[in-house]
């Protein structure tokens, strides 16, 4: 699967943003949707879980949708299947993040183009943990 064409410097600039909402964050520690945001939290990021099936994850309040989060969000990190991205992107656009980050294996070209039309950067088919470690941040 292809991935976005951002340079390492652009990814470093994106990873310098510290406020992240995680759509699809998991309660289960063995899943990437849990240990990736936990890694980010442990590395100084402000993480807000979005999971309608949980009240709290990592002792942080969960939200049913990104639109319910008070305040600004720099990055919306998405751990949902590609076939759900269209409706997720619509909610994300309304929140006006700087970046929508679609984790490894997630890609929906049309929805990504729509987000870009609203001035939102879209990273796709990359893992935030892997990129953070690869770039030694």
Residue at 2 is within a domain: no
Residue 36 has pLDDT above 90, yes or no: yes
Q: 115, 98 in Cβ contact below 8 A?
A: no
Q: Which domain holds residue 43?
A: 8-134
Note the pLDDT tens digit of each residue in 62-112: 999 999 999 999 999 999 999 999 999 989 999 999 999 999 999 899 999
Residue at 110 is within a domain: yes
Residue at 87 is within a domain: yes
Residue at 3 is within a domain: no
- pTM for this prediction: 0.95
At 125, is the pLDDT very low, low, confident or very high (cuts 50, 70, 90)? Answer: very high
- C-alpha 109/C-alpha 7 separation (Å) is 19
Say what the alpha-carbon torsion angle 18, 23, 37, 34 is, to the nearest 10 degrees.
170
Domain count, the chain: 1
Confidence (pLDDT) at 92? 93
Residue at 107 is within a domain: yes
CATH number at residue 89: 3.40.50.720
Residue at 1 is within a domain: no
- C-alpha 5/C-alpha 43 separation (Å) is 25
Residue at 94 is within a domain: yes
Residue at 17 is within a domain: yes
């Amino acid at each position: 699967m292809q991935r976005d064409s951002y340079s390492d410097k652009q990814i470093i600039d994106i990873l310098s943003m510290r406020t992240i909402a995680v759509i699809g964050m998991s309660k289960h520690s063995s899943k990437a949707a849990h240990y990736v945001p936990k890694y980010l939290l442990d590395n100084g990021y402000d993480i807000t879980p979005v999971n309608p099936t949980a009240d709290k994850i990592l002792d942080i309040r969960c939200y049913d949708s990104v639109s319910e989060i008070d305040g600004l969000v720099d990055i919306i990190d998405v751990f949902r299947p590609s076939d759900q991205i269209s409706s997720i992107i619509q909610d994300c656009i309304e929140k006006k993040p700087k970046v929508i980050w679609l984790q490894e294996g997630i890609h929906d070209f049309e929805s990504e183009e729509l987000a870009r039309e609203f001035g939102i950067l879209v990273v796709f088919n990359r893992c935030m943990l892997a990129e953070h470690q690869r770039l030694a941040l």
